[in-house]
């Protein structure tokens, strides 16, 4: 087990001990605390090396860019290996808060700020390079769903680089370096930018509030557990995907104009959870297990038949997914309609056994579909992690 | 374990870096550009640190990639910023580091023996007065422009 439990770099310990160390005077304590706060976010590092790529089994960072590329016609397997050599070196440096090699703006490398980036490959890449035999089990294009209103500008892609950090300048700088090194091999197909809470706004964890107001990400497997490994990380198949995972990516637009017209009880029934704290309608705390069989005295289900959490509930332990959704805000119309939603991600071992059956149930019948519309969709196979000297997905392109 | 063997190997040969010795190289890279085709030019950049107690001089280099390797500086010549060979080499004072960087001193590679593609890795030998040769493997070719370098100068045209 490599370093995944070491999310907090030494910076966190330094900051905490700094505050405690000057507890003798309130003024001094607050002054030193403020000084440490200035660099606290910058010093936190996630570990790049290990069995898995970084930025998946981690608390949400505050800002993110999903960037999809289409490879050039001249890009063959050997070129992909060179592409990945550059990207591997870049991520290694950026995750330590260092500039990339040949960085035209090294002064922007102000700290790691929990920078992470990982690389995945779409079905089209395997087809273009004749690598179909290297496709992981349970990976392929997602089927069409009735609720989909997909737009090409948000969908598909040969290569995904997903970059996140706790600071927008750190994110922009890292993004620039990675995109620059992709340009000899590929062109940018789409960029989707999003955000979650600033660190310190809510307790650490994957659940955050989405822009409909709901606590989002409950019922995820817990980071750093065997359970997480079983849901997310692939153990068999082609060597390059071992330690990797499969991503179902969905850009989900929220219809807030109509959602905002609902009262709190209607909103809570649509989802099956309380807005105040994310507890199921049959419980008091977010962590309470929903009682799908509970009924009101009048015979109606407490968690309605159409409620999102009833429809999304896995039929078995093997059908679960790990969600790590960011929000997006893409503009406001002249009439005041906000263009917002989720950059929704589900990580899993097998799309056929995990995301797809869940989504089929939601597609059939989920009241939340009235206010949530998938407008982008993509799937990527995310290579396993690397140790020193290895190249991301090196075994796929060698 | 394959991974274990790899780790042992890479402890000795870190990409673009050298182990602690008389001279240490770090963060080395070589430029891949439209000029770095067969017969063309490129340059090596990064940091060289003199760990000895004597001044040393970078005088030369060698690589399979280039027919000619020279230690270059950028200098104002007739009001124009141009690159030229440093007469007598590049001094690295005892215990000090020097930067090889775009727009500054660099190890110039000329008469390339093959196209240098982005993401390839090359090996370079640095030669010094006052220290042993330093071999650095796995120097990554980065796609890069910038540094206000005028590769179309009369100097480089002569050797093309």
Q: Residue B12: pLDDT band by 50, 70, 90 thresholds? A: very low
CB contact under 8 A, B16 and A86: no
The residue of chain A with its CA nearest to that of B16 is: A101
Distant-in-sequence, close-in-space partners of B19: CB < 8 Å, separation ≥ 6: B12
Instruction: Tell me the C-alpha distance between A338 and A330, whole Å.
Output: 8
Provide the pLDDT for residue B4: 43
Pairing mode, strands B56-62 and B90-92 = antiparallel
Asked if the C-beta of B143 comes within 8 angstroms of chain A's C-beta atoms, the answer is yes
CB contact under 8 A, B140 and A181: no
What mean pLDDT do residues A366-394 have?
Answer: 96
Do A275 and A131 fall into the same domain?
Answer: yes
Tokens of A164: 């996140």
Encode pLDDT of A102-129 as tens digits.
Answer: 999 999 999 999 999 999 999 999 999 9
CB contact under 8 A, B16 and A101: yes
Do A259 and A285 fall into the same domain?
Answer: yes
Q: Residue A35: pLDDT band by 50, 70, 90 thresholds? A: low
Do A31 and A49 fall into the same domain?
Answer: no
Instruction: Tell me the C-alpha distance between A300 and A296, whole Å.
Output: 5
- Cα torsion A6, A7, A8, A10 to 10°: value is 50
Residue B155 has pLDDT above 50, yes or no: no
Encode pLDDT of A247-266 as tens digits.
Answer: 999 999 999 999 999 999 99
Residue A375 · residue A252 · CB < 8 Å: yes
- Residues of chain A found within 8 Å of residue B102, distances taken between Cβ atoms: 102
% residues pLDDT > 70 (chain A): 90
Q: Among the options A167, A216, A363, A366, which is catalytic?
A: A216
Distance of CA B135 to the CA centre of its chain: 11
Q: Between B9, B45, B143, which is nearest A183 by CB?
A: B143
Residue A281 · residue A303 · CB < 8 Å: yes
- Residues of chain B found within 8 Å of residue A79, distances taken between Cβ atoms: 117, 119
Residue A217 has pLDDT above 90, yes or no: no
Pairing mode, strands A116-121 and A159-165 = antiparallel
Q: Residue B29: give the domain boundaries.
A: 2-159
Q: Residue A16: pLDDT band by 50, 70, 90 thresholds? A: very low
Tokens of B58: 């970078």
Encode pLDDT of B134-145 as tens digits.
Answer: 999 999 999 987
What mean pLDDT do residues A192-208 have?
Answer: 86
Instruction: Tell me the C-alpha distance between A243 and A56, whole Å.
Output: 12
The residue of chain B with its CA nearest to that of A185 is: B118
Provide the pLDDT for residue A202: 82
Provide the pLDDT for residue A41: 85
Instruction: Tell me the C-alpha distance between A26 and A24, whole Å.
Output: 7
Q: Residue A340: give the domain boundaries.
A: 45-397
Instruction: Tell me the C-alpha distance between B17 and A101, whole Å.
Output: 12
Encode pLDDT of A315-362 as tens digits.
Answer: 898 999 999 999 999 999 999 999 999 999 999 999 999 999 999 999
Residue B128's CB: how many other CB atoms inside 10 A?
22
Residue A10 has pLDDT above 80, yes or no: no
- The angle formed by the CA atoms of residues A10, A11 and A15, to the nearest 5 degrees, is 120
- Residues of chain B found within 8 Å of residue A184, distances taken between Cβ atoms: 32, 117-119, 143
| Residue from B12, B119, B122, B143 whose CB has the most chain A CBs within 10 Å, to mutate | B119
Helices (H), A59-217: 77-94, 123-128, 168-182
Distant-in-sequence, close-in-space partners of A256: CB < 8 Å, separation ≥ 6: A211, A212, A337, A338, A340, A371
CB contact under 8 A, B117 and A89: no
Do A125 and A252 fall into the same domain?
Answer: yes
Q: Residue B78: pLDDT band by 50, 70, 90 thresholds? A: confident
Residue B148 has pLDDT above 70, yes or no: no
CB contact under 8 A, A184 and B16: no
What mean pLDDT do residues B111-123 have?
Answer: 97
Residues paired with A374 in a beta bridge: A252
Instruction: Tell me the C-alpha distance between B135 and B141, whole Å.
Output: 17
pTM over 0.95: no
Among A168, A160, A149, A229, which Cα is nearest to A191's? A160
Do A253 and A387 fall into the same domain?
Answer: yes
Domain count, chain B: 1
First to last CA, chain A: 26
Among A120, A132, A124, A119, which Cα is nearest to A71's? A124
Nearest CA distance, B146 vs chain A (angstrom): 7
Nearest CA distance, B77 vs chain A (angstrom): 25
Domain count, chain A: 2
Do A55 and A13 fall into the same domain?
Answer: no
CB contact under 8 A, B29 and A102: yes
Do A91 and A126 fall into the same domain?
Answer: yes
- Residues of chain B found within 8 Å of residue A388, distances taken between Cβ atoms: 6-7, 10-11, 14
Which residues of chain A have a Cβ shorter than 8 Å from any chain B Cβ?
79, 81-86, 89, 101-102, 104, 180-181, 183-185, 387-390
SS3 readout for A181-218: HHCCCEEEEEEEEEECCCCCCCCCCCCEECCCCCEECC
Residue B151 has pLDDT above 70, yes or no: no
Residues paired with A166 in a beta bridge: none
Residues paired with B48 in a beta bridge: B25, B98
Question: Would residue A181 show up in a list of annotated catalytic residues for this protein?
Answer: no
Pairing mode, strands B23-32 and B134-143 = parallel
Do A157 and A36 fall into the same domain?
Answer: no
Residues paired with A366 in a beta bridge: none
Q: Residue A130: pLDDT band by 50, 70, 90 thresholds? A: very high
Do A233 and A114 fall into the same domain?
Answer: yes
Among A179, A71, A75, A70, which Cα is nearest to A117's? A179
Do A217 and A347 fall into the same domain?
Answer: yes
Asked if the C-beta of B17 comes within 8 angstroms of chain A's C-beta atoms, the answer is no
Do A74 and A37 fall into the same domain?
Answer: no
CB contact under 8 A, A82 and B3: no
Instruction: Tell me the C-alpha distance between B150 and B160, whole Å.
Output: 14
Asked if the C-beta of B121 comes within 8 angstroms of chain A's C-beta atoms, the answer is yes
CB contact under 8 A, A81 and B119: yes
**What CATH number is attached to the domain comprising B16?**
2.60.40.1890
CB contact under 8 A, B144 and A102: yes
What mean pLDDT do residues A174-179 have?
Answer: 98
Q: Between A83, A387, A390, which is nearest B119 by CB?
A: A83
Residue A398's CB: how many other CB atoms inside 10 A?
11
Residue A397 has pLDDT above 80, yes or no: yes
Q: Helix or strand or coil: residue A72?
A: coil
Do A104 and A201 fall into the same domain?
Answer: yes
CB contact under 8 A, A101 and B7: no
Residue B143 · residue B97 · CB < 8 Å: no
Nearest CA distance, B44 vs chain A (angstrom): 10
Q: Helix or strand or coil: residue B2?
A: helix
Q: Between A85, A102, A387, which is nearest B119 by CB?
A: A85
């Amino acid at each position: 087990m490599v370093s995944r439990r070491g999310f907090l770099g030494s910076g966190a310990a330094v900051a905490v001990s700094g505050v405690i160390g000057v507890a003798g005077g309130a003024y001094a304590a607050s002054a030193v605390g403020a000084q440490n706060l200035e660099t606290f976010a910058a010093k936190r590092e996630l570990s790049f090396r290990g069995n898995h790529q970084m930025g998946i089994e981690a608390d949400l960072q505050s800002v993110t860019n999903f960037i999809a590329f289409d490879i050039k016609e001249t890009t063959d397997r050997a070129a992909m290996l060179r592409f990945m050599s550059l990207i591997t070196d870049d991520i290694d440096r950026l995750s330590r808060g260092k500039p990339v090699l040949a960085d035209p703006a090294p002064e922007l490398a102000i700290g790691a700020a929990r920078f992470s980036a990982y690389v995945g490959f779409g079905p089209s890449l395997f087809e273009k390079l004749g690598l179909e035999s290297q496709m992981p089990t349970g990976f392929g294009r997602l089927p069409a769903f009735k609720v989909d209103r997909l737009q090409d500008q948000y969908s598909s892609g040969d290569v995904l680089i997903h970059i996140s950090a706790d600071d927008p300048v750190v994110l922009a700088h890292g993004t620039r370096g990675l995109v620059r090194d992709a340009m000899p091999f590929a062109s940018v197909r789409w960029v989707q930018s999003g955000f979650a809470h600033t660190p310190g706004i809510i307790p650490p964890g994957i659940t955050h509030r989405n822009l409909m107001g709901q606590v989002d990400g409950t019922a995820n497997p817990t980071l750093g557990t065997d359970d997480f490994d079983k849901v997310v990380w692939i153990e068999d198949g082609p060597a390059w995907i071992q330690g990797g995972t499969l991503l179902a990516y969905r850009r989900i637009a929220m219809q807030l104009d109509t959602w905002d017209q609902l009262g709190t009880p209607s909103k809570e029934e649509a989802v099956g959870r309380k807005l105040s704290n994310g507890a199921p309608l049959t419980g008091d705390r977010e962590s309470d297990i929903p009682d799908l069989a509970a009924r009101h005295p009048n015979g109606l289900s407490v968690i309605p038949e159409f409620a999102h959490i009833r429809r999304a509930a896995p039929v078995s332990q093997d059908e679960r997914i790990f969600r790590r959704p960011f929000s997006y805000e893409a503009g406001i119309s002249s009439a005041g309609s906000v263009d917002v939603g989720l950059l929704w991600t589900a990580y899993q071992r097998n799309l056929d056994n995990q995301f797809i059956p869940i989504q089929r149930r939601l597609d059939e019948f989920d009241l939340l579909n009235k206010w949530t519309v998938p407008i982008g969709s993509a799937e990527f196979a995310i290579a396993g992690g690397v140790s020193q000297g290895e190249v991301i997905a090196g075994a796929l392109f060698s | 374990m394959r991974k274990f063997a790899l780790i042992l190997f890479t402890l000795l040969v870190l990409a673009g870096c050298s182990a602690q010795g008389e001279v240490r190289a770090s963060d080395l890279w070589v430029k891949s550009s439209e000029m770095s085709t067969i017969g063309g030019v490129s340059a090596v950049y990064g940091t060289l640190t003199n760990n000895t107690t004597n001044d040393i001089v970078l005088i030369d280099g060698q690589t399979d990639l280039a027919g000619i390797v020279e230690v270059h500086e950028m200098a104002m010549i007739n009001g124009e910023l141009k690159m030229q060979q440093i007469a007598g080499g590049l001094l690295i004072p005892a215990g000090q580091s020097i930067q090889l960087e775009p727009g500054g001193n660099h190890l110039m590679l000329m008469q390339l023996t093959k196209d240098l593609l982005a993401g390839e890795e090359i090996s370079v030998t640095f030669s010094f007065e006052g220290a042993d040769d330093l071999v650095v493997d796995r120097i990554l070719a980065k796609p890069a422009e910038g540094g206000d370098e005028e590769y179309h100068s009369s100097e480089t045209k002569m050797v093309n």
